[in-house]
Amino acid sequence: MRVGWSAGLLLAATCLAGCEPASDEDSREAEQARPTAATQTSAGPSPDAISCDSPVSADDDAETLVRRFGEDARFETLYGPEGIEIPAVVLWPREPARRVNVHFADDERREIVSVNLGDESAWRIAGLSVGDPLSRAIEANGRGFALWGFSWDYGGYVSDLRGGRLAALPGGCRVLMRLARADGGEVPVALMGDGELSSDDPLLETAGVRIDELGITFPPEE
């Protein structure tokens, strides 16, 4: 079954490390459905820099990932905002510092939407890491950006990189980010709600927001 490119799915693709795994029963069913491929465990790259073509490229699908990473690739269904189900292949699922969640646009896992870091990830993307402060994100982008207000399902996700460097990485992908307070606490009321905020809002700096989720996305072909 094809999952449409609805606004909900596109926004769900920005649910990075915060996605929750499916139940044990769902995971067992997914494991049984995985394609037949070579299962030699791949050492793969050490956690360093994720790019538009490494360790995953836009040309990959579930079969190529399983063939390349073997036992280090596991089928899962992850859950995004509003309970949206996202077909995924998780790389290095048993290694929190290396875990990478690969999200797909279709149940057959043939079209990649995004490559997302686990919340304990040691990977870097465009020089950024999970936990970096807002100022570092602005610096990496080369300019300010817009993000959704906090305290709702899509709160804190960057909505517009405003043509900055993170909007067009070498190879054609772009960065996905979600910001949150480092201590997990609430932000000021003025920063809440489903409207857009500007990254230069001084209240964001005062609140101490940092990169909470990080990944890349491959824009769909037109």
pTM over 0.95: no
Q: List, for residues 185-207, the tens digit of each pLDDT value.
A: 999 999 999 999 999 999 999 99
Domain spans of the chain? 7-117, 127-217
Please, are residues 130 and 119 in contact by the beta-carbon 8 Å criterion?
yes
Residues 6+ apart with CB under 8 A from 11: 80, 81, 154, 157
Q: Cα(175)–Cα(189) distance, rounded to whole angstroms?
A: 27
Q: List, for residues 6-52, the tens digit of each pLDDT value.
A: 333 445 454 443 444 444 444 444 344 333 333 333 344 445 799 99
Query: What is the four-CA torsion angle of 118, 121, 123, 125, rounded to 10 degrees?
Result: 50
